[in-house]
């Protein structure tokens, strides 16, 4: 009976929607940045699966179905890019250079810290693509010889951290330029950070969308040379 109920695709879909709805309500009621809807969703789903001893495979029967909507959802970001196309064209070189520097800094910092703490090469390879979207991160990690599960975890943590901390850091360092805000979020926190950029404004959302795309491409290219320095 348990397997029939929890292995159904309906279970994975339902608990995901329910958990996110709870997270959204809590976030709006408390207005506490740390109580991010995605973070709350993960906690609720993981807790439920642990308490009722539900295998990940059962959840994925529905969870994988939700993943099908990731690509269309990401494609929606193209609308903001289109609306801000003149601004993006005008600042294209600036955005490209900033994204390249940000991507390079991300990779160098990961490698340096892993060397400092004497982490294995496999773990280093798993952490390198932390700032790009999950599908690309998994591909990069696999090609380098990293562990996919660790890569996915770090991508999630990176995205949520950027989503939560971005407003605080923007206020702390008085970053008023929407272009800078967008580049920072897109380069460091991929799609999850871009969702926060969209909340900040259409310019931020458009620039962040472009930046996350460039970051993915740049990271893939730079990862080809990483093995020579580790």
d(CA 207, CA 81): 7
pLDDT in tens, 112-121: 999 999 999 9
pLDDT in tens, 48-104: 999 999 998 999 888 888 877 776 777 778 888 999 999 999 999 999 999 999 999
226 vs 215, more confident? 215
d(CA 223, CA 94): 23
pLDDT bin (cut points 50, 70, 90) of residue 1 is low
Q: What is the pLDDT of residue 159?
A: 94
What residue ranges do the domains of the chain occupy?
2-68, 87-229
Give me 179's structure tokens.
Answer: 């272009």
Q: Could you give the 3-state DSSP secondary structure of residue 60?
A: helix
pLDDT in tens, 115-152: 999 999 999 999 999 999 888 999 999 999 999 999 99
Over residues 201-228, the mean pLDDT reads 93
Give me 114's structure tokens.
Answer: 């892993």
d(CA 112, CA 117): 9
């Amino acid at each position: 009976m348990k397997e029939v109920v929890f292995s159904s695709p309906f279970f994975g879909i339902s608990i995901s929607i329910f958990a996110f709805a709870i997270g959204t309500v809590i976030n709006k009621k408390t207005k506490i940045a740390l109580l991010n809807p995605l973070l709350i969703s993960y906690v609720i789903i993981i807790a439920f699966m642990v308490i009722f001893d539900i295998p990940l495979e059962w959840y994925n029967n529905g969870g994988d179905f939700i993943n099908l909507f990731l690509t269309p959802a990401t494609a929606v970001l193209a609308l903001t890019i289109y609306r801000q196309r003149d601004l993006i064209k005008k600042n294209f070189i600036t955005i490209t250079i900033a994204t390249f520097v940000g991507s390079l800094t991300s990779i160098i910092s990961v490698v340096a810290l892993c060397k400092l703490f004497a982490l294995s090469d496999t773990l280093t390879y798993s952490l390198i693509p932390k700032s790009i979207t999950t599908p690309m991160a998994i591909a990069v990690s696999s090609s380098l010889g990293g562990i996919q599960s660790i890569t996915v975890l770090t991508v999630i943590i990176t995205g949520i951290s950027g989503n939560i901390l971005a407003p605080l850091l923007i206020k702390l360092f008085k970053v008023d330029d929407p272009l800078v805000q967008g580049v920072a979020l897109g380069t460091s926190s991929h799609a999850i950070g871009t969702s926060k950029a969209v909340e900040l404004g259409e310019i931020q959302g458009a620039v962040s969308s472009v930046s996350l795309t460039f970051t993915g491409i740049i990271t893939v290219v730079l990862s080809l040379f990483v093995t020579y320095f580790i």
